[in-house]
Structure 1
Amino acid sequence: MRHVVISFLGDDKPGLVEQLATIIKRHKGNWQTSSMRHLSGCFAGILEVMVAKENAQALIDELSAFDALDMHIKVAEPVLYNDKKIAIDITANDRPGIIGDISAVIHKSHGNLVKLVSSQGNAPHFGQPIFKASLLVAINTEQHLAQLIGALEDIEDDLIVDVNI
């Protein structure tokens, strides 16, 4: 079996997911994991497909020819993390550079950012821009976990960190 990772971006229009699913099904692929969003008039996403070795190249060729979306396609080997995975929710006043600060702290604390979902909105009753992020971090020791949590909380006074182990 082959794991095909596909990232894409294009103008949003109805039916794109159905068209992708039809191509994958035609090559006997199995849609594994995905994340897709409408962003400023664009449709963007990433997905992983598991497909038999003998069908992989035909799938890749047809996806590459699908002109409704710009695609980047990679055949990959799955990586299993032996590290503990922790879910972290962060809320803070929004400001430029906050993602860079958070990712730097994770890296310096020996963590690996496995998943990041972020959004920006307005604080109720105040209207001030608020940053929210949900993270999944792989980390290998309790010492590194404690270091990570402390370092995240030290980024800013207004940053709230909720950890689910």
Structure 2
Amino acid sequence: MNDLFVMSVEGPDRTGLLRKLAETTHAHGGKWLASKLSNLEGRFVALIKVEVPSENTSQLKELLVQNSEVTVTFYPCQPSTERRINAAFNIDANDRPGLVNDITQLLANHDINIEELDSHRLGLSDGQNLFTATLSVTMPPELDPAFIARELEGLHEQMAVNVIPTL
């Protein structure tokens, strides 16, 4: 029998950190089923879904927590039973204060959950800033992604939103 859990990892980034986590997991018969990893301004963060033989779970978790360089937290896997559809969007707009707040509020008002958000602010040669984002969401099946894209575009006169085809 195998156990499944999600672990979050946070700490200062350094070469070999990811290798050490993977090596420890592998040494206990575990494997990473899915992962989201990022380095932002020298801080490493990760969410990793792990499968490990039940008899090795406690020892693996103890060893991962003992790594004094990072903070590791474990969460049980809880798959959703709610019927939802996946959608993704690219957003480009002239940056302004409150833009992320407005986007997240609109999505929440439609019961849309943001699964992944990758955003950046880029300086343009004219001194303006461009806000660019890619969002992966889950949403009620009765909603049309094209409708949501039009709603998002209505938040800002200089906003372009494209629906990204999903599998």
Q: Does the TM-score normalized on the shorter chain lie above 0.5?
A: yes
Instruction: Give the residue type in structure 2 aligned to 1:67.
Output: S
Preserved contact between residue 29 and residue 50 of structure 1 (Cα < 8 Å)? yes
- How far apart are the structure 1 equivalents of 2:15 and 2:143? 48
1:63-110 CA-to-partner distances (Å, cap 9, x unmatched) read 111111122221223336632211111112233332222111111112
- How far apart are the structure 2 equivalents of 1:137 and 1:162? 14
Q: Specify whether residues 94 and 59 from structure 1 end up closer, same or farther in structure 2 by C-alpha distance, changes over 3 A only.
A: farther
Q: Specify whether residues 24 and 8 from structure 1 end up closer, same or farther in structure 2 by C-alpha distance, changes over 3 A only.
A: same
- How far apart are the structure 2 equivalents of 1:40 and 1:85? 30
Task: Give every structure 1 segment of 4 or more consecutive aligned residues whose post-TM-superposition deviation is greater than 6 Å.
Answer: none
Structure 2: gaps of 5 or more residues? none
Please state whether the residue corresponding to 1:150 is helix, strand or coil: helix
What is the number of equivalent residue pairs in this alignment? 164
What is the Cα-based RMSD across aligned positions, in Å? 2.1
Preserved contact between residue 149 and residue 162 of structure 2 (Cα < 8 Å)? no
1:30-84 CA-to-partner distances (Å, cap 9, x unmatched) read 1122222221122222221122222222222111111111222212233366322
Partner of 2:138: 138
User: What TM-score do you get using the length of structure 1 for normalisation?
Assistant: 0.86
Partner of 1:55: 56
Preserved contact between residue 30 and residue 51 of structure 2 (Cα < 8 Å)? yes
Preserved contact between residue 2 and residue 75 of structure 1 (Cα < 8 Å)? no
Q: Specify whether residues 20 and 44 from structure 1 end up closer, same or farther in structure 2 by C-alpha distance, changes over 3 A only.
A: same
Structure 1: gaps of 5 or more residues? none
User: What TM-score do you get using the length of structure 2 for normalisation?
Assistant: 0.85
Please state whether the residue corresponding to 1:156 is helix, strand or coil: coil
- How far apart are the structure 2 equivalents of 1:40 and 1:120? 15
Q: Specify whether residues 109 and 76 from structure 1 end up closer, same or farther in structure 2 by C-alpha distance, changes over 3 A only.
A: same
Preserved contact between residue 106 and residue 152 of structure 2 (Cα < 8 Å)? yes
Partner of 2:19: 18
